[in-house]
Amino acid sequence: MSLAIFDLDNTLLNGDSDHAWGEYLVQKGIVEEAWYRRQNDHFYELYKQGKLDIMEYLEFALQPLTRFDMAQLKQMHDEFMDQVIHPMRLPKAEALLNKHRDQGDYLLIITATNRFITGPIAHALGVDDIIATDAEIINNRYSGKTSGIPCFQDGKVTRLQRWLESNQHNLAGSYFYSDSINDLPLLKAVTHPVAVDADERLLAEAKMRGWPCISLRD
């Protein structure tokens, strides 16, 4: 059994679930439209450039979760899944998941996006486990702070290493599929790195290193 590891946003999904959640909050009138959209777009551009301050972004992104109890958040997320995430799903991505599943591989999503957003998406995709940025929960409510190391850039490698220490897996024969230059540290750590609909910088890096470059878009 090999590990088949997948980034989520813009890899298995045709879009970014984190940015899309911010848009959902704007459209529902939960946050102030002009300021929140401007900030959401700004942070997304920094992410794409590989320049994001992850802690600054998480302070912004997690704050709205503090305003609702878990039941309210679940109701909101269920609607978000139906209206926003379902249209982002890619048949070729799910075929790739099935290919690895049929090979007997262990399917793992690793994502910088927080677990509140991504946990239900991973469940819907039927993967075996997910490593995501964790948001702190105190007395069954989100505090607006992170818990542990954000699952971002080198933090993905650290979080995966800790996960491997607690699970009966290793990186021998492992795959990692990603679109983003932010994931270069983890791509360099696996046996089979694959660039998926890669951004300009990752595409150049992948071609230089002779890594496979594929598309999961129709």
Show which residues are catalytic: 7, 9
The secondary structure element, H or E, covering residue 145 is strand 141-147
Q: Which amino acid is at 130?
A: I
For 144, the 3-state DSSP assignment is strand
Q: Give the angle 213-215-217 at the CA atoms, nearest 5°.
A: 170
Half-sphere exposure of 144 (CA within 13 A, CB side): 8
Q: Which amino acid is at 43?
A: F
State the alpha helices, DSSP H only, in the chain. Answer: 17-27, 33-48, 54-62, 70-80, 86-88, 91-102, 115-125, 154-166, 184-187, 200-209
The rounded distance, in Å, linking the Cα atoms of 159 and 165 is 10
Q: Which residues of 101-130 are buried (b: 16+ CB within 10 A; e: fewer)?
A: beeebbbbbbbbbbbbbbbbbbeebebeeb
- Closest Cα partner for 91 from 99, 81, 83? 99
17 CB neighbour count, 10 Å cutoff:
24
